[in-house]
C-alpha cells in the first residue's frame, strides 16, 4: 500500500504516529519557510506541513507543488496548537509534519479548480468529467448511490428476492419508446433492441417459478432528454408471483422506510398514503402531485356558469371547466408584470389565459372583477377558502388544459412562495390509473402504462362497453412531484391478454410475432404476478437534494444524448458498417 491512512481519518488520537498519506494537492499555502498543503482524497482532507528545519530538500520540493498533483508523504501526526485548530476540517485538530515527499504524478494545470466558488459551466464539467468527479458534491452523490443500492439489494435479499440478469440484446417491441437498435452481423438485416425495461423477461421469470425477482437494471430509451431523463438510466426492477397489488406496495413501503431511515434519518409512514388517480387529478391536476405543500385546485363550475364573464360562462357551456387555486399572501408579491409572465407560462400548457383576483377585505380586485357581482365574489372567496392578501388564479379551458396549466402553476408558485421545506420528503402512491387512453390522431386505444397491465377486477365488463372507463391495477410512487416508481399487476390469462391486444389493435398475427414468447410463457401455467420499477437515478437525485440526474450519474450524456468525455456517438469505419450490411442514407446538407 502506498498509504497507511486516508486523508479523512486522522484525529487527535493518532498524534505521535508516523503515517504515510497519498492524495491530491487541494490547496497550497507557501510561506517560504513553511508550506501548508491540504491533501485530498475521497475520504476528506488533511493539512500537511513542510518545515524548512525538518528537511530542507523536501521543503524546497514542496514549494513547487500545484493544484491536483498526486503525492505521497511520510511524516508524524502532530496536534495543532489550540489557536490553530481548523473547525471546518474533520481532521482540523491535527496536521502531518512531513519528512519525506514523493511526487507520484504531476498534474497539468487543471481546466477548473475543484472547489472554486462558482461552478464552471456544465459543458466544461462534462468534457473534463475526471476533474469534475473529484468535486465533493459528485463524490458524495456516488457514495450515496452506492449505499442506496446496497440497502436495496440487502432489503430484497432478506425478503427472498433473487437477483437475476436479463438480456441487454433483445428484440424490438412495438408501442412504447423509440428503441436503441444494434445491428446483427450474423443475421444480415436484423437488429437487436436495447431493453426499455426488462418487462417481458421478468414476467417470464414469474412463469418459470422464480417467484421473487429483483435486478438493478440498465434501461435505454431513445427519446428526448430532460433534467430527470437520460437515454440510459437505471431501474430497481422487481416482480412477485402469487401476489395482489397490496402485497407489492407493502414490500416497497418497507424498502422506502428503510432507505429514508438509514440514509436521511427520516421516519416515513408505513404504509405510505394511497390516492386514486381520479382524486389527485381533481385535487392537484397532476398524476404526480408534489404534496409537500397544499394549494389544491378548486372547481368553480357553478359560479363560472352563472357569472357575467363570458370566457368563464362559455367555457362551462361548451363542456369545459373553470378551476383555480389560491396563492397564499401573494397579492403584493406579484406585480402585473409578474402575472403576465405567469400567463405566458401557463400558455405553454395550452391555457389561453390566466384570470387573477387579488383578495382584499371588501372583495376581489381584478381587471375582470366588474363581471362578478358582490355575491359571486363572496362565493369565490368562500369556495376557495381565500383570505385578504391572497392571490387567486383561474384557468378556463377543456378539462385536461385546466389540469396541466394549474398543476404547473402550482409547482412554480410553491417554489417561488417557498411553501415547503426543500429538505422534506413526501411519498405517496397513486393507484387506479386508467388502463387505456384514446389516441385521436391514430384513432385507436393506447395503453396508459403498458399492454400487460391487468384491468381492475370490477371493470372487466367495461372492456367491451366503455374501454376509456376501465381502471388498471397499476400504481405510481410519487416523491416530491417526481414519478419515482411505477408498476402494475400483470395479465396472467392469455385470453384477457388477447382481449387487450385486440383493443390496442394489435393483430393476433402481429402479437404472436412480436410478443409470442410472452404469450407462450403465459400458456403453460402462469401464476398471478405483478411488480414495479423504481427510477434509481431519480431517487438518488432526490436523496441528494439535487435537481438533475446528471449530477448523480458518473458519466452522463448531454441533452443531445452525447458523451462529451468520450465523444460518443461517433462515426465508424466503413469496414464496420460493411460487416453489418449497412449503408448510410444521410440527409442532404
Partner RNA sequence: GGCCCUGUAGCUCAAUUGGUUAGAGUACCGGACUGUCGAUCCGGUGGUUGCGGGUUCGAGUCCCGUCGGGGUCGCCA
Q: Are 551 and 526 in contact (CB under 8 A)?
A: no
- In sequence order, the β-bridge partners of residue 364 are 359
Cell triple for residue 303? 359560479
Q: Interface residues for RNA in 208-267 (CB under 7 A)? A: 221, 223-229
Q: Stretches 47-55, 327-335, 414-422, 495-503: which one binds RNA (CB under 7 A)?
A: 47-55
| Rounded Cα gap, residues 437 and 430, in angstroms | 17
| Rounded Cα gap, residues 316 and 323, in angstroms | 11
Instruction: List, as one string, the DSSP characters of 112-138.
Output: S-TT-SSPPPHHHHHHTHHHHTTSHHH
| Rounded Cα gap, residues 264 and 345, in angstroms | 34
Task: Tell me if 67 contacts RNA by CB under 7 A.
Answer: yes
Task: Tell me if 390 contacts RNA by CB under 7 A.
Answer: no
Task: Tell me if 112 contacts RNA by CB under 7 A.
Answer: yes
Q: Interface residues for RNA in 147-186 (CB under 7 A)? A: 173, 175-178
Task: Tell me if 542 contacts RNA by CB under 7 A.
Answer: no
CB of 384 to RNA, least distance (A): 25
- Of positions 8, 20, 52, 519, contacts RNA by CB under 7 A: 52
Q: Which residues contact 286 (CB under 8 A, 6 or more apart)?
A: 280, 403, 407, 410, 481
- Of positions 11, 31, 158, 314, contacts RNA by CB under 7 A: 31
Task: Tell me if 442 contacts RNA by CB under 7 A.
Answer: no
| Rounded Cα gap, residues 247 and 531, in angstroms | 9
Q: Stretches 144-152, 373-381, 555-563, 571-579: which one binds RNA (CB under 7 A)?
A: 555-563
Q: Stretches 132-140, 196-204, 238-246, 322-330: which one binds RNA (CB under 7 A)?
A: 196-204
Q: Interface residues for RNA in 260-279 (CB under 7 A)? A: none
In 504-560, which residue ranges form alpha helices assigned H by DSSP?
508-523, 536-544
Task: Tell me if 514 contacts RNA by CB under 7 A.
Answer: no
Exposure string for 222-237, b = 16+ CB within 10 A, e = fewer: eeebeebbbbbbbbbb
Q: Interface residues for RNA in 120-149 (CB under 7 A)? A: 120-124, 126
Task: Tell me if 199 contacts RNA by CB under 7 A.
Answer: yes
CB of 252 to RNA, least distance (A): 18
Site string for RNA, 68-107 (x = CB under 7 A): ------------xx--xxx-xx--x--x------------
As a whole number of Å, the end-to-end CA separation of the chain is: 57
Q: Quick one: DSSP state of residue 537?
A: H
113 vs 580, beta carbon nearer RNA = 113
Task: Tell me if 348 contacts RNA by CB under 7 A.
Answer: yes
226 vs 523, beta carbon nearer RNA = 226
Task: Tell me if 8 contacts RNA by CB under 7 A.
Answer: no
Q: Interface residues for RNA in 391-420 (CB under 7 A)? A: 404, 408
- Of positions 1, 2, 16, 32, contacts RNA by CB under 7 A: 32
176 vs 353, beta carbon nearer RNA = 176
Q: Are 351 and 320 in contact (CB under 8 A)?
A: no
Task: Tell me if 66 contacts RNA by CB under 7 A.
Answer: yes
94 vs 325, beta carbon nearer RNA = 94
Q: What secondary structure, in 3-state letters, does 250-262 show? A: HHHHHHHHHHHHH
- Of positions 129, 212, 376, 449, contacts RNA by CB under 7 A: 449
Instruction: List, as one string, the DSSP characters of 410-457.
Output: HHHHHHHTT-S-TT---EEEEE--BSEEEETTTTEEEESS-TTBPBPG
User: Up-side HSE of residue 163: CA atoms within 13 Å toward CB?
Assistant: 13
- Of positions 558, 565, 580, 582, contacts RNA by CB under 7 A: 558
Task: Tell me if 516 contacts RNA by CB under 7 A.
Answer: no
Amino acid at each position: 500500500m502506498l498509504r497507511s491512512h486516508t486523508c479523512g481519518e486522522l484525529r487527535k488520537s493518532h498524534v505521535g504516529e508516523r503515517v504515510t498519506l497519498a492524495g491530491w494537492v487541494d490547496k497550497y499555502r507557501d510561506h517560504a519557510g513553511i508550506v501548508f498543503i491540504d491533501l485530498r482524497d475521497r475520504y476528506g482532507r488533511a493539512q500537511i506541513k513542510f518545515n524548512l528545519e525538518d528537511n530542507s530538500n523536501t521543503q524546497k520540493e514542496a514549494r513547487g507543488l500545484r493544484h491536483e498533483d498526486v503525492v505521497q508523504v511520510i511524516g508524524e501526526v502532530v496536534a495543532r496548537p489550540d489557536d490553530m485548530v481548523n473547525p471546518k476540517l474533520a481532521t482540523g485538530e491535527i496536521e502531518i509534519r512531513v519528512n519525506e515527499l514523493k511526487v507520484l504524478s504531476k498534474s497539468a494545470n487543471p481546466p477548473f479548480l475543484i472547489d472554486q466558488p462558482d461552478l464552471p459551466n456544465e459543458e466544461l464539467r462534462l468534457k473534463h468529467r475526471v476533474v469534475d468527479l473529484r468535486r465533493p458534491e459528485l463524490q458524495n452523490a456516488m457514495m450515496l448511490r452506492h449505499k442506496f443500492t446496497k440497502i436495496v439489494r440487502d432489503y430484497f435479499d432478506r425478503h427472498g428476492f433473487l437477483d437475476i440478469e436479463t438480456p441487454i440484446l433483445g428484440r424490438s417491441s412495438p408501442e412504447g419508446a423509440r428503441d436503441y437498435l444494434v445491428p446483427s452481423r450474423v443475421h444480415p438485416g436484423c437488429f437487436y433492441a436495447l431493453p426499455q425495461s426488462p418487462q417481458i423477461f421478468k414476467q417470464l421469470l414469474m412463469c418459470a417459478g422464480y417467484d421473487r425477482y429483483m435486478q438493478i437494471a440498465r434501461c435505454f430509451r431513445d427519446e428526448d432528454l430532460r433534467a430527470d431523463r437520460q437515454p440510459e438510466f437505471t431501474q430497481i426492477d422487481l416482480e412477485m408471483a402469487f401476489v395482489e397489488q397490496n402485497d407489492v406496495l407493502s414490500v416497497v413501503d418497507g424498502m422506502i422506510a428503510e432507505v429514508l431511515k438509514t440514509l436521511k434519518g427520516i421516519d416515513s409512514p408505513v404504509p405510505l398514503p394511497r390516492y386514486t388517480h381520479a382524486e389527485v387529478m381533481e385535487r392537484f391536476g397532476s398524476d404526480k402531485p408534489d404534496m409537500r405543500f397544499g394549494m389544491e385546485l378548486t372547481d368553480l363550475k357553478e359560479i363560472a356558469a352563472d357569472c357575467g364573464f363570458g370566457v368563464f360562462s362559455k367555457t362551462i357551456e361548451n363542456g369545459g371547466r373553470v378551476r383555480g387555486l389560491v396563492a397564499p399572501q401573494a397579492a403584493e408579491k406579484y406585480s402585473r408584470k409578474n402575472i403576465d409572465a405567469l400567463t405566458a407560462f401557463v400558455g405553454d400548457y395550452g391555457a389561453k389565459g390566466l384570470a387573477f383576483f387579488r383578495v382584499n377585505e371588501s372583495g376581489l380586485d381584478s381587471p375582470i372583477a366588474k363581471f362578478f357581482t358582490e355575491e359571486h365574489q363572496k362565493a369565490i372567496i368562500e369556495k376557495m377558502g381565500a383570505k385578504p392578501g391572497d392571490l387567486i388564479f383561474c384557468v378556463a379551458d377543456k378539462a385536461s388544459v385546466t389540469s396541466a396549466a394549474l398543476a404547473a402553476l402550482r409547482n412554480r408558485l410553491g417554489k417561488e412562495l417557498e411553501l415547503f421545506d426543500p429538505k422534506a420528503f413526501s411519498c405517496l402512491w397513486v393507484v387506479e390509473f386508467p388502463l387505456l387512453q384514446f389516441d385521436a390522431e391514430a384513432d385507436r386505444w393506447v395503453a396508459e402504462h403498458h399492454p400487460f397491465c391487468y384491468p381492475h377486477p370490477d371493470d372487466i365488463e367495461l372492456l367491451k362497453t366503455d374501454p376509456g372507463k376501465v381502471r388498471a391495477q397499476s400504481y405510481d410512487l410519487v416523491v416530491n412531484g417526481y414519478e419515482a416508481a411505477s408498476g402494475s399487476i400483470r395479465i396472467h390469462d392469455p385470453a384477457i391478454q388477447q382481449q387487450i391486444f385486440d383493443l390496442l389493435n394489435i393483430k393476433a398475427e402481429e402479437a404472436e410475432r412480436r410478443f409470442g414468447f410472452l404469450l407462450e410463457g403465459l400458456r403453460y401455467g402462469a401464476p398471478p404476478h405483478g411488480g414495479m420499477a423504481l427510477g434509481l437515478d431519480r431517487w438518488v437525485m432526490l436523496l441528494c437534494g439535487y435537481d438533475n440526474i446528471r449530477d448523480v450519474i458518473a458519466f452522463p450524456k448531454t441533452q443531445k444524448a452525447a458523451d462529451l468525455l468520450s465523444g460518443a456517438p461517433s462515426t465508424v469505419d466503413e469496414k464496420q458498417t460493411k460487416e453489418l450490411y449497412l449503408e448510410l442514407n444521410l440527409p442532404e446538407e
